Amino acid sequence: MAGTLSVVATPIGNLGDITLRAIETLKNADVIACEDTRVSSKLLAKYDIQKPLVIFHAQSGKGATTRILSLLGEGKRVALVTDAGTPGISDPGTALIAEVRSRLGGEVTIEAIPGPSALAAALSIAGVPTDQFVFLGFLPHKKGRQTLFKEIAEEERTVVFYESTHRIEKALESLVEFLPEDRMVSVLRELTKLHESVVRGSAADVRDYFKTHQGEVRGEFVVIVSTC
């Protein structure tokens, strides 16, 4: 009997954003693979879902992958979730999915259970051109970072990337350094949460805003660079 790997999108903030199909899939899973049991447990408790949890994240090593492959090989239904959003989108789930396809091939069904994504949510309310865009995920911490900012400045399409609390101010400084003054920068913070906000303007305007609103330099950020 073939196993099933369900790639389940979960809320990026507001727990009410989960889909009916995602709830059903999680309830029917034999095992749920998650990044952080503390984060996933809050969501599962809200919807009265009680399932065994296994850890899978960027540092969990080959042992976690081997365990999940073994479960799938036994015909189990494994639901893969990330802490927030869609697994595999700038997320270590990509490596697991690739390994399942490589090692088990047609023996396992891999299904998408679509839903929330910070990328889609940000673009939907930013008011920028979205017919074409480039998504960079999380930028590298050191190597190649400055080169990427130069490429962003030269890109004619909308550019989207994720940034953390610890690096958002440095990222804005780099955008000020490399971007022409007429490029629009949008920073979307804490999407779907109580303190969701959108700050738009030139790179210098946005940088100065966060310099004077240090209380808002926290949470998860989506940065969009566009032509208007």
User: Which pLDDT score is estimated for 133?
Assistant: 97
User: Which pLDDT score is estimated for 61?
Assistant: 81
User: Which pLDDT score is estimated for 131?
Assistant: 96
Residues 185 and 127 sit within 8 Å (Cβ to Cβ): no
User: Which pLDDT score is estimated for 143?
Assistant: 83
Query: The dihedral of CA 60, 138, 118, 195: what is its sign?
Result: positive
The 8-class DSSP code of residue 139 comes to P
One-letter identity of residue 105: G
Instruction: Say whether pLDDT at 87 is over 80.
Output: yes
Tokens at 23, concatenated: 């709830």
Measure the CA–CA gap between 180 and 202, rounded to whole angstroms.
Answer: 9
User: Which pLDDT score is estimated for 97?
Assistant: 95
Q: Which residue has the higher pLDDT, 2 or 70?
A: 70
**Which structural domains are found in the chain, ordered by start?**
4-113 (3.40.1010.10), 118-226 (3.30.950.10)
User: Which pLDDT score is estimated for 170?
Assistant: 96
Mode of pairing for the β-strands spanning 184-189 and 197-201: antiparallel
Over its C-alpha atoms, the chain yields an Rg (Å, rounded) of: 19
201 burial (CB, 10 Å; 0-12 / 13-18 / 19+) is middle
One-letter identity of residue 63: G
Q: Locate tokens 């365990």: which residue?
A: 67
User: Which pLDDT score is estimated for 94?
Assistant: 93
User: Which pLDDT score is estimated for 175?
Assistant: 98
Each residue's pLDDT tens digit, 18-76: 999 999 999 999 999 999 999 999 999 999 999 999 999 988 888 999 999 999 999 99
What is the overall mean pLDDT for the chain? 95
Q: Which helix (H) or strand (E) holds 109?
A: strand 109-113
User: Which pLDDT score is estimated for 2?
Assistant: 81
Instruction: Say whether pLDDT at 142 is over 90.
Output: no
Nearest to 7 by CA among 98, 75, 67, 93: 93
User: Which pLDDT score is estimated for 58?
Assistant: 85
Each residue's pLDDT tens digit, 101-132: 999 988 999 999 999 999 999 999 999 999 99
User: Which pLDDT score is estimated for 12?
Assistant: 96
